Amino acid sequence: MGKPRLFVTRRLPGPCFKRMLEEFNADVWPEWRHPPHEVLVEKAPHYDAMVSLLTDRIDCEVIVAGARGRLRIISQYAVGYDNIDVDCATRHGIYVTNTPDVLTEATAELTWALILAAARHLVKADRYVRSGEWYRSGTGWHPELFLGMELRGKTLGIIGFGRIGRAVARIGAKGFGMKVLYYSRRRAPREVEQELNARYVSLEELLRESDIVSLHVPLTPETRGMIGERELRMMKPTAILVNTARGAVVDPDALVKALREGWIAAAGLDVFHVEPLPPEHPLTKLDNVVLAPHIGSATREAREAMTCAVLENLLAFKRGEVPPNLVNREVVEKRRPGFEG
């Protein structure tokens, strides 16, 4: 077999991208916008491998079309893969891989940027300076200007204690001397709890006790809408909710109500139930929310390393090996890795 055919749904940053184009017979979607769904369905059967982004809806229609043709592997350029129908891929013998670990610190750091921005009203303060309001106020310093919340000694609640959740906890415990509570599917090993000064609690206790609540679960049928009106009402009126996981983990209407009516003090959001968020969305009208356009992993370092992780997964598969970041382990029983046969 010659070079396997690869469809990449966007140009990717870093030197590994050049190598990808050398190792595969690749076509790259040239636009800034994602390829429309019908393009994915049309392309899928004609390629051995596909590199997808979280904005590409890889549903069963795309997968079945691909499986009828020559598609063998979908290598996602992200750690989250809720845009891919993984069960469908497994049934059709298609491998799915992702890019964990290399973006953990970048996403944890952005989480802290949102926490600090929300706790200290940083975005509003920036606007105050630029707009001339500070100048017009006639005073350079005032004892009650932009009073925020200090983090030292406060309680940080982590929902989803995986790679990113633990990285956020580590910065909170070691950097800000915070007490850490966590809720997750299962309890972490004792050493991890001790190192991070973290206590395993119920979701309800976490919501009631935490000053900062930060979401780090994947989007699954169980986590969709996990934070709704009931949960938001349990939080402290002084608390800040941060979401760098997936927008649909939070009920957006309940969140708007909570922020408007002061059930919670503020929110920092990098992810939304619809992306891009329309500018007329009520969240954009609220003063107590800091918004970012899904840039959790957006450091040069992480994004270049993600390209290399995608490449490593594809190259391992090409060599007939199980890719290092295989998401659907059960697929191995269906079909051996490799583009031959």
By the criterion CB under 6 A, which residues form the site for ligand GLV? 54, 78-80, 103, 243, 247, 250, 252, 255, 269, 272-273, 283, 296-297
| Shorter beta-carbon distance to ligand NAP: residue 90 or 297 | 297
Smallest separation, CB 108 to ligand GLV (Å) = 13
Q: Does 301 bind ligand NAP (CB under 6 A)?
A: no
Say which DSSP state 5 is in.
E
Q: Does 268 bind ligand NAP (CB under 6 A)?
A: no
CA 168 – CA 81 distance, rounded (Å): 21
- Our answer to whether residue 294 is catalytic in this structure is yes
- Our answer to whether residue 216 is catalytic in this structure is no
Pick left, alpha or beta for residue 141 (phi over 0 → left; psi -120 to 50 → alpha; otherwise beta): beta
* The one catalytic residue among 5, 246, 273, 303: 246
Residue with tokens 């009931």: 230
Give the range of 28-36, 43-51, 233-241, 244-252 binding ligand NAP by CB under 6 A.
244-252
| Shorter beta-carbon distance to ligand NAP: residue 219 or 311 | 219
CA 1 – CA 67 distance, rounded (Å): 19
> Residue 33 touches which of ligand GLV, ligand NAP, none (CB < 5 to 8 A by kind)?
none
Residue type, 23: E
Applying CB under 6 A, the site for ligand NAP has a residue count of 29
Do residues 268 and 114 touch, judged by C-beta distance below 8 A? yes
- Our answer to whether residue 246 is catalytic in this structure is yes
The Cα-based distances of 61 to 48, 70, 292, 328 in angstroms read 17, 15, 32, 18
| Shorter beta-carbon distance to ligand GLV: residue 66 or 296 | 296
CA 211 – CA 31 distance, rounded (Å): 42
| Shorter beta-carbon distance to ligand GLV: residue 157 or 252 | 252
Residue with tokens 């606007």: 127
* The one catalytic residue among 275, 301, 321, 330: 275
Phi, psi of 286 (to 5 degrees): -90, 140
| Chain centroid to CA 326 | 18
Q: Looking at the annotation, which residues are catalytic?
A: 246, 275, 294
Q: Which residues bind ligand NAP (CB under 6 A)?
A: 79-80, 100, 103, 107, 160-165, 184-186, 216-220, 222-223, 244-246, 270-271, 294, 296-297
